């Protein structure tokens, strides 16, 4: 064994061994329990970043650990290879997205391999390969047949200069990123997937995912956004149905006939979202409310700018038309809407209150969303904070209809004033007042009574609605999976027959920013109608890349299947036992994958309901931010590698300078590693300098996996120091020869203590990795053991045998985390079989036995002494020994002992007066 630890050699050797023996090939074996460990696949952006390294190291540790536990493990890897960056790169460099993508994949694959991940590379694929995306198309056609996929118009960002559709991220302050032109909103036909049909199940099944982080489940539940309330209508005064120009809808009447008990999400999702018209059938203004108990307090209604009633009113009111235009111009991003000033304008139209018959004015409000509910709300300013402020601003009446008695709870109504908003105004705990026959009813009773009365009048009923909207998958982009539709002038939109799949994407296009290049590809666009044989035009839109990532985990089970999307091997491997990825995917990717799984299940392609049994969301990787901001001009960020930090003599930071010019830079705190803040660390540089094991060790040691991880060059050096020390100690031990097998059950005291520590450490590491997933504490425990081992200065036979066992267990305990050095140490310790095929060691319970325990003694809760007591000592004896301790006796002397609390094996607390 070399005296010196040289990671390049150690790591190359280990990786060559694993390659040669195809150690990571996963083979289905019904006799063995499987373990499918999956990390979210990367977008091939060019090179790995630290977030990838962290993600894949966590997955690899669990994979290798479970493998040592005897499970038949699968850890695959692939590439989320379609997407916008490839088109941007093409525009910048003139390289086709296909070439750019495949080059990046080749480079990043080498990087992943150099980190020594236990990946079955034989299952690798990229989503841009026709063998994969063929099945996107195939499933899309099945969805079309089942009515899950459908076509309707949607709004997109239109750049009038480049004549192209832009993604949200390509719109900066309302202008195109390349042209600077003001972006217009355009309505174009698009394909949608009816995820809302699964809303109820997607919500309910969150309860079947107990091993997902609570906060992810909460985020998904909020995103699905189930609301139980009442949908009802106001008659629009003096407006006939024909005047509104809304065509009779085939869905008309469906809402009323559905009954409140079992509302179908499918029907609901159609209603109110299908576009203009439906909300005004028969001259009715439909609204949805969760506070029907406040209906007697309605003093106005507010509709969205896009609402047909607003459109109608604007025809004869230029000022209103201008206001509506202003509202429509604003951002569609809901986060932006949260901060805009609330504005409104009266339409001049009145509606009739369904219960009181009073006339109610209708306003247009910029805070009403067309996409949620009916695009119209009843406004109860006394009991809704937004309505309250709106009413104050425009001097609209405010009528209290809910009373609350605080304090005693009997009768005494707390005073209501319109001076300022009070928290309790929105409370559901009060009872109705000023509400005629509903007076005195609580929330639930009032809602029931009011819903029943509305139903009797044929003007409404209870209703469940979801915030979740159908998934629009059409993208007016080149580098994606073609949507398999043919547009025929005679037959309309015709699905591509299964036998003609895949619709292959030409790979030699170079986008130039002026729209989808597919439109100009005659050989792609021109085709023959499968129905009538006439000339037809192929759809040029491609699919959202979230489609690609919605089922890739299932494809890994049978990546070579040419006949089917997935084959019977999926039954063995799925569902994924452990999924690992960034918290940024908590909603969309995970929700779409869950939806896609349920669709595949309903098509009897798979048997599972949920694709990911256990989820681990790893924290972000942070680093310091340094910058200079000149008097005039732009802020410049400096990479922490180019900055030297100045410390005072206590190690407290006093400043930082740029290494190149020695002049000070300012600290911007710490933040996520990003290009814009120039605070990234290149994993490749780290691997080149210290090796993969050091990178893996540092990343797993610095923080628990779910927490953020702060980068530290000193910490990396420390991790490397530990490995060098381990290597050196092991080399010294092995250099003296492999000790003969020795009976370790009878050892002198210091050796027995050391051996107990060895097995205590094994016990802790097993629990930390297997159950707690706190890799940082597992590593700390091994470090502690190594420190104890280094202190043992004893060259005797028994000592060498104890030391040998300790090194063996250290090599195995560290094998999931730093597999290369463990591989080398294991062979050096005299084993013929490689560490990769070794089993996780078992704790020797006999080694854990001890005769005496150290017990802490407190007096009035303050630590006053420690005593050694026999393990089997009865409580009286422990108490006696505790009181006999010199320091304890001193603190107890002269005081009456009131109580003595004995916690077996832990402590004694003596309570004195």
Least distance in Å: CB of 887 to RNA?
6
Looking at 188-196, 286-294, 491-499, 596-604, which segment touches RNA (CB under 7 A)?
A: 286-294
Q: Which is nearer to RNA, 336 or 493 (CB)?
A: 336
- Least distance to RNA, CB of residue 763, Å: 9
Segment interacting with RNA, rule: CB under 7 A, options 52-60, 139-147, 762-770, 825-833: 762-770
How crowded is residue 113: how many other Cβ atoms within 10 Å of its Cβ? 16
Please give the structure tokens belonging to residue 721: 């120091």
Please answer whether residues 782 and 814 qualify as being in contact, where contact means their C-beta atoms are separated by less than 8 angstroms.
yes
Specify burial of residue 894 (Cβ count, 10 A radius: 0-12, 13-18, 19+): exposed
Say if CB 208 and CB 220 are below 8 A apart.
no
Segment near RNA (CB under 7 A); pick from 64-72, 285-293, 485-493, 563-571: 285-293
Based on the shown chain and the rule CB under 7 A, indicate whether residue 356 belongs to the binding site for RNA.
no
DSSP state of 288: E
Query: Cβ atoms within 10 A of the Cβ of 258, count?
Result: 18
By CB under 7 A, residue 464 contacts RNA: no
Question: Helices in 252-305 by DSSP H: which ranges?
Answer: 254-257, 265-270
Measured distance CA(69)–CA(829) in Å, rounded: 21
Residue range at the interface with RNA (CB under 7 A); choices 329-337, 413-421, 542-550, 573-581: 329-337
Least gap, CB of 278 to RNA (angstroms):
15
CB of 602 or CB of 707, closer to RNA: 707
Which positions from 582 to 621 touch RNA by CB under 7 A, shown as an x/- string?
A: -xx--x----------------------------------
Q: Is 681 in the site for RNA (CB under 7 A)?
A: no
Contact letters for RNA, residues 288-327 (x by CB under 7 A): xxxx------------x-----------------------
How far apart, in whole angstroms, are the C-alpha atoms of residue 779 and residue 786? 11
Contacting residues for 611 by C-beta, under 8 A, at least 6 apart: 553, 554, 574, 575, 576, 593, 594, 597
DSSP string across 2-44: -SS--HHHHHHHHHHHHHHTTTT-----TTS-EEEEEEPPPP-
Tokens of 26: 């996963």
Residue 256 lies near RNA (rule: CB under 7 A): no
Considering the complex, state which of residue 50 and residue 378 has its C-beta at the smaller distance from RNA. Answer: 378
For RNA, the closer of residues 414 and 863 by Cβ is 863
Between the CA of residue 148 and those of 134, 278, 737, 769, what are the distances in Å?
Answer: 19, 21, 70, 42
Binding RNA (rule: CB under 7 A), the pick from 31, 675, 791, 832 is 791
Task: Give yes or no for a contact between 450 and 438, defined as CB atoms under 8 angstroms apart.
Answer: yes
| 384 lies in the site for RNA, by CB under 7 A | yes
Beta bridge partners of 637: 627
Min CB(549)–RNA separation in Å: 17
- Give, for 911, the enclosing helix (H) or strand (E): strand 907-912
* Identified binder of RNA from the candidate list 352, 418, 434, 774, rule CB under 7 A: 774
**Cα-Cα-Cα-Cα dihedral of 239, 240, 242, 246, to 10°?**
70
* Count of residues touching RNA (by CB under 7 A): 95
Query: CB of 286: closest distance to RNA in angstroms?
Result: 11
Q: How far is the CB of 91 from RNA (least distance, A)?
A: 27
**Of the residues 720, 761, 766, 822, which one makes contact with RNA according to CB under 7 A:** 720
Task: Establish if 675 lies at the interface with RNA (CB under 7 A).
Answer: no
DSSP calls for 553-582? HHHTTSTT-SSSSS-THHHHHPSBSEEEEE
Return the range that interacts with RNA (CB under 7 A); candidates 484-492, 552-560, 696-704, 795-803.
696-704
Shortest Cβ 55–RNA spacing (Å): 16
CA dihedral (389, 390, 394, 397) positive or negative: negative
Helix (H) or strand (E) holding 472: strand 471-472
Query: Under the criterion CB under 7 A, does residue 899 sit at the interface with RNA?
Result: yes
Residues 82-141, interacting with RNA (CB under 7 A)? none
Residue with smaller CB distance to RNA, 389 or 831: 389
Binds RNA by CB under 7 A, chosen from 125, 140, 232, 372: 372
Q: Which of 250, 651, 737, 795 is in the footprint of RNA by CB under 7 A?
A: 651
Q: Which two tokens stand for residue 566?
A: 């997935």
Q: Which alpha helices (H) appear in 537-657, and where do they start and end? A: 545-548, 552-555, 569-573, 588-602
Site track for RNA across 802-841, x = CB under 7 A? ----------------------------------------
Measured between alpha carbons, how far is 138 from 136 in angstroms, rounded to an integer? 6
Q: What mask, x for binding RNA by CB under 7 A, covers residues 848 to 867? A: ------x-x-x-xxxxx-x-
675 is in an annotated binding site: yes
Nearer to RNA, 569 or 589 (CB): 589
Kindly tell me which residue out of 335, 420, 456, 893 binds RNA, with binding defined by CB under 7 A: 335
Q: Give the residue, chosen from 84, 305, 360, 377, that forms a contact with RNA under the rule CB under 7 A.
A: 377
215 in contact with RNA (CB under 7 A): yes
| Interatomic CA distance for residues 753 and 445, integer angstroms | 70
Q: Nearer to RNA by C-beta: 384 or 461?
A: 384
Nearer to RNA, 334 or 358 (CB): 334
Beta carbons of 321 and 259 less than 8 angstroms apart? no
Kindly state whether residue 787 participates in binding RNA, applying the rule CB under 7 A. yes
Which residues are known binding-site members? 675
| Binding-site residues for ATP | 675
């Amino acid at each position: 064994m070399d005296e010196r630890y040289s990671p390049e050699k150690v790591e190359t050797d280990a990786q060559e061994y694993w390659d040669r023996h195809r150690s990571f090939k996963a083979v289905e074996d019904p006799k063995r329990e499987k373990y499918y460990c999956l990390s979210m696949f990367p977008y091939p952006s060019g090179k790995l970043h630290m977030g990838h390294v962290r993600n894949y190291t966590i997955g690899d540790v669990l994979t290798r650990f479970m493998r040592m536990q005897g499970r038949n493990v699968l850890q695959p890897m692939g590439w989320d290879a379609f997407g916008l960056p490839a088109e941007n790169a093409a525009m910048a460099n003139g390289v086709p997205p296909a070439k750019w993508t495949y080059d990046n994949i080749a480079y990043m694959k080498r990087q992943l391999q150099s980190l020594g991940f236990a990946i079955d590379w034989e299952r690798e694929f990229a989503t841009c390969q026709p063998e994969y995306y063929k099945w996107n198309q195939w499933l899309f056609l099945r969805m079309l047949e089942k009515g899950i996929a459908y076509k309707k118009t949607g709004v997109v960002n239109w750049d009038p200069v480049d004549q192209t559709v832009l993604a949200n991220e390509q719109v900066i302050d309302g202008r195109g990123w390349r042209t600077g032109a003001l972006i217009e909103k355009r309505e174009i036909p698009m394909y949608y997937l009816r995820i809302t049909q699964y809303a109820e199940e997607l919500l309910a099944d969150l309860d079947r995912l107990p091993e997902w982080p609570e906060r992810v489940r909460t985020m998904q539940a909020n995103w699905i956004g189930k609301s139980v309330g009442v949908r009802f209508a106001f008659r629009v005064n003096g407006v006939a149905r024909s005047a509104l120009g809304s065509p009779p809808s085939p869905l008309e009447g469906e809402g009323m006939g559905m009954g409140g008990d079992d509302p179908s999400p499918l029907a609901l999702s159609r209603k109110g979202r299908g576009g203009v018209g439906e909300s005004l059938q028969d001259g009715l203004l439909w609204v949805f409310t969760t506070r029907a108990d406040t209906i007697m307090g309605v003093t106005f209604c507010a509709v969205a700018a896009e609402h047909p009633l607003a459109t109608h009113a604007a025809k004869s009111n230029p000022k209103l038309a201008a206001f509506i235009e202003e509202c429509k111009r604003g951002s569609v991003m809901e986060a932006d809407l949260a901060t805009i000033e609330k504005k409104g304008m009266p339409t001049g139209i009145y509606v009739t209150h369904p219960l009181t018959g009073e006339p109610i004015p209708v306003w247009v409000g910029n805070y009403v969303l067309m996409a949620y509910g009916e695009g119209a709300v009843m406004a109860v300013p006394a009991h809704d904070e937004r309505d309250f402020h709106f009413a104050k601003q425009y001097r609209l009446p405010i009528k209290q209809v809910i009373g609350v008695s605080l304090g005693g709870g009997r009768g005494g109504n707390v005073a209501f004033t319109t001076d300022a908003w009070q928290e309790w105004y929105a409370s559901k705990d009060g009872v109705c007042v000023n509400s005629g026959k509903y007076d005195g009813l609580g929330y639930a009773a009032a809602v029931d009574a009011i819903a029943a009365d509305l139903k009797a009048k044929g003007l409404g009923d209870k209703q469940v609605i979801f915030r979740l909207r159908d998934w629009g998958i059409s993208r007016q982009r080149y580098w994606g999976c073609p949507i398999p539709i043919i547009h025929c002038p005679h037959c309309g939109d015709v699905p591509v027959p299964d036998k003609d799949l895949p619709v292959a994407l030409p790979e030699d296009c170079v986008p130039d920013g002026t729209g989808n290049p597919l439109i100009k590809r005659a050989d792609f666009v021109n085709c023959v109608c499968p129905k009538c044989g006439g000339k037809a035009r192929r759809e040029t839109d491609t699919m959202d890349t979230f489609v690609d990532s919605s089922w890739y985990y299932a494809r890994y089970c049978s990546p070579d299947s040419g006949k089917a999307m997935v084959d019977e091997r999926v039954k063995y491997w799925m569902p994924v036992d452990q999924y690992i990825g960034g918290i940024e995917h908590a909603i969309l990717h995970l929700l779409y994958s869950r939806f896609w799984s349920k669709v595949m299940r309903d098509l009897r392609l798979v048997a599972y309901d949920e694709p990911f049994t256990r989820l681990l969301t790893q924290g972000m990787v942070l680093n310091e931010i340094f910058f200079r901001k000149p008097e005039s001009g732009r802020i410049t960020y400096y990479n922490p590698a180019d900055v030297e930090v100045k410390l005072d003599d206590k190690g407290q930071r006093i400043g930082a300078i740029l290494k190149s010019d020695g002049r000070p830079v300012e600290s911007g705190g710490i933040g996520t590693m990003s290009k814009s803040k120039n605070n990234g660390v290149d994993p490749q540089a780290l691997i080149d300098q210290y090796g993969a094991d050091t990178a893996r060790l540092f990343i797993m040691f610095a923080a628990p996996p779910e927490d953020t991880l702060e980068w530290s060059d000193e910490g990396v050096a420390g991790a490397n120091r530990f490995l060098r020390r381990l290597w050196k100690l092991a080399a010294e031990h092995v250099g003296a020869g492999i000790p003969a097998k020795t009976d370790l059950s009878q050892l002198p005291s210091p050796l027995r203590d050391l051996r107990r520590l060895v097995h205590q450490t094994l016990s802790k590491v097993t629990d930390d990795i297997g159950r707690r997933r706190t890799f940082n504490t597992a590593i700390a425990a091994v470090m502690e053991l190594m420190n104890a081992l280094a202190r043992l200065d004893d060259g005797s036979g028994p000592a060498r045998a104890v030391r040998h066992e300790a090194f063996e267990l250290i090599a195995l305990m560290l094998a999931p985390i730093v597999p290369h050095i463990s591989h080398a140490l294991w062979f050096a310790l005299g084993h013929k079989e490689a560490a990769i095929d070794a089993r996780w060691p078992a704790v020797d319970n006999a080694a854990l036995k001890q005769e005496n325990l150290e017990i802490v003694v407190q007096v009035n809760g303050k630590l006053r002494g420690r005593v050694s007591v026999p393990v089997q000592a009865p409580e009286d004896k422990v108490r006696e020994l505790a009181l006999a301790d010199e320091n304890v006796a001193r603190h107890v002397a002269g005081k009456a002992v009131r109580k003595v609390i004995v916690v077996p094996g832990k402590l004694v607390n003596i309570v004195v007066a």
